[in-house]
Structure 1
Amino acid sequence: MTATVEAPIEAPEIDYDPFAMESLEDPHRFDGEAREVAPVVHVKKYGYYAITRFAEIQKALRDWRTFSSTDRPFYAPSPFRPRTLILEDPPEHTASKNAVLSVFSKENLAAFEVHFRAEAERILDELLADGPVEVDGFQDIAARYVLKVFPDVLGLPEEGRELLLKFGDGVFNTFGPPSDFQAAKLARASEAQEWVENNTAREVQAEGGIGWQLYAMADEGKISEHTAQQILKSIFAAGFDTTTASIASMMRAFGDNPGEWEKLVADPGLVENAWEEAIRYYPASRYGGRWANKETVLGGVRIPEGAKILTMWLGAGRDPRQYTNPDEFHVDRDLKGGHLSFGFGIHTCAGNLVARLEARTLLRAMVERIATIELVGEPRQAVNYQAFGHEYVPVRLTPKA
């Protein structure tokens, strides 16, 4: 007896506006509500499709030939967002990603780790020198650490590093509808954009630094000089704002769940898993983008040829079909099925190895030194079209005896 195959349905239309201020201020609620409508929905106001659930996003990202990265909703050329890597498919993407993976080699990562650990320990020892201390987990820990260690390995000057967070904020507000909100964000980032342009030029790269290595590849004919600069600019775009936001969000997760910090301190072997759980719980990027270069069916829903699509990472991170009690934070959660917070497939974030190394190194140093983490005020979430994070996390850190 032949099994009946159900005909695909049309994507349900939803009135949800992902870019309304209420959605930006509470994306877990609103993206979660969209996820429960269907695995693929049609966002009526803007005419794009959204893939909302874990399994369907993962399936789409495996099939880059159907779900191409070369276009997406709201894309327009921007000095804040280079096309390299993000808006490429093979073979161009393969060459660009190989260049990034080359500068993030095991040898380079080993050298980075030594520096990352030394700076993490120095910062924490200074903060905890006089006993229990109240700090802002965003500014005093996440930003202070990330704006020190990663610019150091990039060979950037000390002056102007704070502009990298403004640049990242601008980058992650480019993919969205034109609005007064977007215009204000990009205007705020304009000074940072000029600093980034100046510091990605060949002539200012410190010998041996990542930028220097990329331009050396151009000299060897592996990539073009233009691609070298665009890759370096992409690293600037994604390497600071999201990592800082992720670490600050992790601080909030522990502040809200002090028992999980106690569990981690009792079993430091959970550090790696705890970090992965933190970025599942609070992904630094709310969505990605694709377009369908042929008609296809996903999760029983028809997606027409030419459809522009958002892949909703943040909502998928709390998909109850994938995770038990997804709105809870557990450092010992079974994450064998992974998460989508760095993307998936060939377009998995090329800098994920560095981001993971930065965060885990800091978290290990924290576990070695801090007995308790307690919230002492109301955290403040940052508001951004695409990025997700916290810009203020007031916590009290009590050092180990």
Structure 2
Amino acid sequence: MTTTEPEAIDAPVFDGDPFSMEALADPIGFDGRVRELGPVVYIEKYDYYAVTQWDEIQKSLRDWRRVSSSDRPFYEPNPYRPTVLVLEDPPSHTKNKAAAMAVLSGENLAKFEEYFAAEAKRLVTEILANGPVELDAFHDLSVKYVLKVFPDMLGLPEEGRDLLLKFGDGVFNVFGPDTEFQRQKLAGAAPAQDWVERNTYREVQKEGTVGWQLYELADAGKLPEEDARQVLKSIFGAGFDTTTASIASMIRALADHPAEWAKLKANPELVDNTWEESIRYYPASRFGGRWAKDDLVVGGTKIPAGSKMLMMWLGSGRDHRKYDNPDTYLVDRDLTGGHLSFGFGIHTCAGNLVARLEARTLLKELVKQVDTIELTGEPRQAMNYQAFGHEYVPVRLTPKA
């Protein structure tokens, strides 16, 4: 007896607006509802295909020769959009990613770890010096920490560092429709964009820093000088907004789930898994873009050649086909199969090792020094086309006796 593959079907059509204020206010709920329409959904308003379910996203990302990164929905030239890494395919992507990994891993990462740990200890000790304290875990903890350690790593001047958050906000609002919301976001980020441009040129890089090392690679013929500047700009764009927001989201998740915080305190070896569960539960990026170079069948659904595509990271983190009880936060969840919150395959986020190191190092220090984390008000999610996170997380930290 022979069996035949079922015939591929056309994608279900969704006539709503994933970039409406309603959707941006509740992207987890909105993207979850779209996910349940099918593994691939045609977004009629903007003429693109959303790949919504975990398995089909991963399979698509493996197929980088046909599912290309060089184009995507809302792909218009913009000064906030770096021209390398995210929007490249091999061979140029291979060369530029190798350069990024060379300066964000290995010996550099070991140096970062020692410095990050010292700064995390200093900051948490300072915060808890006078006993229980109420603060905003986004601005007073996550931002204060990340805007110290990461710019130091890059050799950036002290003055103007706060602009990096505005720059990240601009970067992650580029990929979406031209609306008054987007125009306001980009206008607010304009001074930051100017600051970043000035600080990515060769002449301002301090010896030994990440930027200096990238230009050294250019001098060694491993990448063109302009690509070195664009790789550095990509690091600027991806290294602040999502990291600060995701650390704050992690603290919000722990405050919302005191039993999980108690479990973590009793088993500090769960720190790494806690971070991975947090970034699954609250991914820092809502989606990534691709385009179909050939006719495709994804999850039994047809995607015509030339179609623009979005890979829906945020929805994939709550896909019940992949995770048991996906809306439940568990610091000891079995994450053997991983998550897609940093992407997958050749386009896995180049800065993921640094982001993981920053978050885990700060969390280790909190586990050492903090007894309880309690919400004192209603957290506020940031409104953003592509990034996801919390911009306000009011908590009370009580130190250990």
TM-score, normalised to structure 2, is 1.00
2: distance between equivalents of 1:152 and 1:63?
Answer: 37
Quote the residue 1:79 is aligned against: 79
Tell me if 1:108 matches 2:122.
no
1: distance between equivalents of 2:242 and 2:206?
Answer: 24
Quote the residue 1:297 is aligned against: 297
Secondary structure in 1 matching 2:6: coil
1: distance between equivalents of 2:15 and 2:259?
Answer: 39
Quote the residue 1:13 is aligned against: 13
Task: Read off the aligned partner of 2:323 and give its amino acid letter.
Answer: Y
Aligned residue pairs total 401
Secondary structure in 1 matching 2:157: coil
Structure 1: unaligned runs, 5 residues or longer: none
Quote the residue 2:271 is aligned against: 271
Quote the residue 1:192 is aligned against: 192
Task: Read off the aligned partner of 1:303 and give its amino acid letter.
Answer: I
Secondary structure in 1 matching 2:284: coil
Contact 2:72 2:310 (C-alpha < 8 Å) held by counterparts? yes
Q: In the TM superposition, what is the alpha-carbon distance from 1:77 to its structure 2 partner?
A: 1.2
Secondary structure in 2 matching 1:10: coil
Quote the residue 2:368 is aligned against: 368
Quote the residue 2:210 is aligned against: 210
**RMSD, matched Cα:** 0.5
Contact 2:105 2:353 (C-alpha < 8 Å) held by counterparts? no
Alignment of 1:51-200 (within 5 A): 51-200=51-200
Task: Read off the aligned partner of 1:59 and give its amino acid letter.
Answer: K
Contact 2:374 2:396 (C-alpha < 8 Å) held by counterparts? yes
1: distance between equivalents of 2:69 and 2:250?
Answer: 29
Secondary structure in 1 matching 2:148: helix
Task: Read off the aligned partner of 1:359 and give its amino acid letter.
Answer: A
1:327-361 deviations in Å (ceiling 9; x for gaps): 11100000001000000000000000000001000
Secondary structure in 2 matching 1:134: strand
2: distance between equivalents of 1:357 and 1:105?
Answer: 11
Quote the residue 2:315 is aligned against: 315
2: distance between equivalents of 1:5 and 1:163?
Answer: 54
2: distance between equivalents of 1:82 and 1:29?
Answer: 30
1:280-305 deviations in Å (ceiling 9; x for gaps): 00000000000000001010000100
1: distance between equivalents of 2:345 and 2:106?
Answer: 21
Quote the residue 2:238 is aligned against: 238
Q: In the TM superposition, what is the alpha-carbon distance from 1:4 to its structure 2 partner?
A: 2.4
Contact 2:285 2:387 (C-alpha < 8 Å) held by counterparts? yes
TM-score, normalised to structure 1, is 1.00
Q: Which runs of 4+ in 1 moved over 4 A?
A: none
1:115-161 deviations in Å (ceiling 9; x for gaps): 10111011100110011111100000000000000000100000000
1:194-237 deviations in Å (ceiling 9; x for gaps): 00000001000010000000001111111000000000000000
Task: Read off the aligned partner of 1:260 and give its amino acid letter.
Answer: E
Tell me if 1:50 matches 2:50.
yes
Task: Read off the aligned partner of 2:256 and give its amino acid letter.
Answer: D
Quote the residue 2:328 is aligned against: 328
Alignment of 1:219-234 (within 5 A): 219-234=219-234
